[in-house]
Amino acid sequence: MGEGEALIGDVGVLKRWKSRAPGGSIRDPSPGRDQRLTDSTASLEVPRAESWGILSGESESAREMIVRNLTLDFREEVCVPIKFPKPSEPSRWLTDDEISAYERDGVICARGLLEDSLIDSLRQALEYVITDQNLLARNLDAGKGFHGDIFVWKLNDDFRDLALFSGLPQVANQILRAKQVNFFYEQFFVKRAGCSVETPWHQDISFWPVEGEAIVSFWITLDSVTRESSGLEFVRGSQNWEQRYKAVTPSYDAYMMDTDLPTAPDFSTLRDDYDVVGWDMEPGDVLIFGPMVCHGSDGNHSNDRDRRALAFRYAGDDVRFAPRHATMPLLWEHGLAAGDSLGGSLFPRVLPSVIEEEIARRWEGPEPPSPRALQAFLEYLKETGFGPGGEKLSLFDRALSGDG
């Protein structure tokens, strides 16, 4: 059983359900039961990791589907509580050796951390997102075979479910050892075969409107990757450096670079002087790294292999909101003030558990960026000289204002 929709009651409310648990299913109705769906709301027996939300609309076939597939227990009540999937167990835990290596080097390659089935569904989701759901990817592509976007979990359910309900939060907490873990955000970096776009060397912390060190990123590749096909490389131990570098994006966005920080050296040319490390990876292997470690990647010099990567990031206890010029724009309302711990609907808690108020809206359906937040950011770009006609060009302006 995959997913379906059901019209419940006379109120024209369409309930949508999705079966996700491996082998999970919604039980068959008891034979002979009165299965009319007209005047009361059905309470559904939903096994572990099954979940459903609400859409508006009508569907006759959905009505049949619910009759065929669900155990219905008619009651007078009109509201059915939203149920969230329980987070799944990681398919494997990090070993003590991996955790020690992470602490020493600032990065590890965790082999076989994710299952093949998850990688397959992410491939499908990513290709769909690139063509249909992204904010930035089409506009920033510039014909070079590079696609990237951020906060896709707000629009795409596969991304959302991996972020909030998979085993990743628990693995993150093996590193963070936090009282509470929040999902920070996710991002994708696609370099199609032959894409020459490099990811300049950088430290992630320079890009973010937060302070704190307890952030961990999972870099997930959906393709076999080598240095030649744009494998990510790191300077081992650089997480301990005091030096901070400019936030240089693959598109050299002028807004993000508008700080006094120096540009990071191209460490790929300094291999004799620095401990530069990278790994040949297979789908399922995951790079795990912190916010201070220097990293970058070359273009994809393979002629026949795409390099599709996703980065999911989690935050622990010491991370505070710290809005600054030249950091990634937040295009959703978040209600945070400088100095606040992360939380709320943009950076929801995932451990010890999700909080209903933080994710209920997103659970109902995709949450496009807030027009107010978008407008505010575009105005800010303009005020600071990066808007249309401004002397400094930011690709964010072009992409977000739809002039891509």
Residue 296-315 contact track with ligand AKG, rule CB under 6 A, x = bound: -x-----------x-x----
Rg (CA), the chain: 23
Residue 157-186 contact track with ligand AKG, rule CB under 6 A, x = bound: ------------------------------
Residues between 38 and 97 that touch ligand AKG (CB under 6 A): none
- Which of 313, 334 has the CB closer to ligand AKG? 313
Number of residues that bind ligand AKG (CB under 6 A): 10
CA distances from 283 to 102, 167, 178, 234 (A): 20, 17, 28, 19
Separation CA 25–CA 281 (nearest Å): 34
- Which of 180, 217 has the CB closer to ligand AKG? 217
**Burial (CB count <10 Å: 0-12, 13-18, 19+), residue 7:** buried
CB of 299 to ligand AKG, least distance (A): 10
CB of 345 to ligand AKG, least distance (A): 23
- Which of 238, 297 has the CB closer to ligand AKG? 297
Whether the CB-CB separation of 170 and 208 falls below 8 Å is answered with no
What are the residues facing 288 on neighbouring strands? 108, 218
Whether the CB-CB separation of 98 and 108 falls below 8 Å is answered with yes
- Which of 69, 217 has the CB closer to ligand AKG? 217
Residue from 52, 84, 159, 189 in contact with ligand AKG (CB under 6 A): 189
* Among candidate residues 401, 383, 385, the one with its CA nearest the CA of residue 393: 385
Residue from 19, 182, 199, 206 in contact with ligand AKG (CB under 6 A): 199
CB of 297 to ligand AKG, least distance (A): 4
CB of 295 to ligand AKG, least distance (A): 6
User: Which secondary-structure segment (H or E) carries 13?
Assistant: strand 13-18
The separation between CA 70 and the C-alpha centre of its own chain, rounded to angstroms, equals: 32
* Among candidate residues 144, 123, 195, 132, the one with its CA nearest the CA of residue 395: 144
CB of 300 to ligand AKG, least distance (A): 9
- Which of 141, 358 has the CB closer to ligand AKG? 141
CB of 199 to ligand AKG, least distance (A): 3
Separation CA 319–CA 341 (nearest Å): 6
Is residue 232 involved in binding ligand AKG (CB under 6 A)?
Answer: yes
Is residue 219 involved in binding ligand AKG (CB under 6 A)?
Answer: yes
- Which of 219, 377 has the CB closer to ligand AKG? 219
- Which of 204, 223 has the CB closer to ligand AKG? 204
- Which of 51, 229 has the CB closer to ligand AKG? 229
CB of 149 to ligand AKG, least distance (A): 13
Q: Where are the beta strands (DSSP E) in 168-275?
A: 181-191, 199-202, 210-211, 215-221, 233-235
Whether the CB-CB separation of 192 and 306 falls below 8 Å is answered with yes
Q: Where are the beta strands (DSSP E) in 284-378?
A: 286-289, 295-297, 307-315, 320-321, 349-351
Residue from 154, 160, 295, 362 in contact with ligand AKG (CB under 6 A): 295
Contacts of 250 (CB under 8 A, 6+ apart): 146, 148, 189, 197, 198, 199, 200
Contacts of 346 (CB under 8 A, 6+ apart): 151, 330, 332, 333, 334, 336
Is residue 251 involved in binding ligand AKG (CB under 6 A)?
Answer: no
- Which of 172, 309 has the CB closer to ligand AKG? 309
CB of 219 to ligand AKG, least distance (A): 5
- Which of 274, 380 has the CB closer to ligand AKG? 274
User: Where on the chain is the footprint of ligand AKG (CB under 6 A)?
Assistant: 189, 199, 204, 217, 219, 232, 295, 297, 309, 311
